[in-house]
A = this chain, B = another copy of it.
């Protein structure tokens, strides 16, 4: 099979670099262009990203010349990945969709549009079909598919088997999020070294809203009451979340552990290249998962659950979930979305 050509918009940022890194050696896709803001256009990709963020650029990609993030600047890609900052992402992504390209966006601009699939493939692969509705409405030749906010991607994956099996009613989540979630330069070291910052702008609202869109049907969102408190801690990669959940039907920790451990979904069945064999791993140790030790589980696509126990406050269960904010919570999820739409023939 000839690899499809992928362009990465916003390729010089933290998330953009993670897209490029994950696409290197991808069996179905290859990076044909990297686009970024005017500041970088015309420079080599290596010179634009600097040496700080990624250890080694994949072979050859460092020599790519950075182009403008506009359809006219890029010779016919098959797929567009957008790691653009939310402030500028919306119209640029629309331009690419209008120009006929499938756009997989990590930005929040279009996530809540009713006919833009907000896809976390193990959770709601069936939402992919919304792109047809979207194309009808917009008359575009292309379309936009969004992946969830990092915290939501990790949380919603862990909630899915609970929701399916026991019926989720209420979720309280308190997060401890890594600095890479804020991009580069992002969080100043003076702000976070030996500190906790109990505020991440718009994050709690995103978690509360996106979780319901993901767990719902294409017709309407779920009605789980979600309440989040989001905090930044001095870790590099990996968001770890303390979750308290109430289900309609009683769920013992053992039953929950079983339903999570056994959970597999469309990406596993379709054997998509980026799908981890087990999207959720349940750890038995009393003190795991831990951010630094477990963040790379399943090449960053698996979320690790631990400390499953009864919760007295909601009369439900509580647990810890950890995932890689740049992989499952960003570029990895977006690439898995593209694989899903390729496998489902939404992309020819």
Contact = CB atoms under 8 A, between A and B. Distances in A.
B196 A235 contact: yes
Interface stretch (A71-79, A126-134, A283-291, A336-344): A283-291
A287 B191 CA distance: 11
Interface stretch (A82-90, A152-160, A221-229): A221-229
A346 interface: no
Given A186-B189, A286-B199, A292 B194 contact: yes
Interface string A250-277: 0000000000000000000000000000
A170 interface: yes
Interface string A296-327: 10000000001100011110001010000000
Contact of A229 (B188, B236, B320): B320
Interface of A: 14, 51-53, 55, 170-172, 174, 176, 179-180, 184-199, 208, 225-227, 229, 231, 233-236, 240, 242, 244, 285-294, 296, 306-307, 311-314, 318, 320
Query: Which 10 A-B pairs have CB atoms at the shortest separation, nearest pair first?
Result: A174-B174, A185-B188, A227-B313, A199-B287, A229-B242, A195-B292, A174-B242, A189-B189, A198-B320, A187-B189
Given A193-B194, A234-B235, 19 more contacts: A51-B287, A51-B293, A52-B188, A52-B190, A52-B191, A53-B190, A174-B229, A176-B233, A179-B193, A180-B190, A187-B188, A194-B236, A196-B235, A197-B290, A198-B242, A225-B313, A229-B318, A233-B234, A234-B234
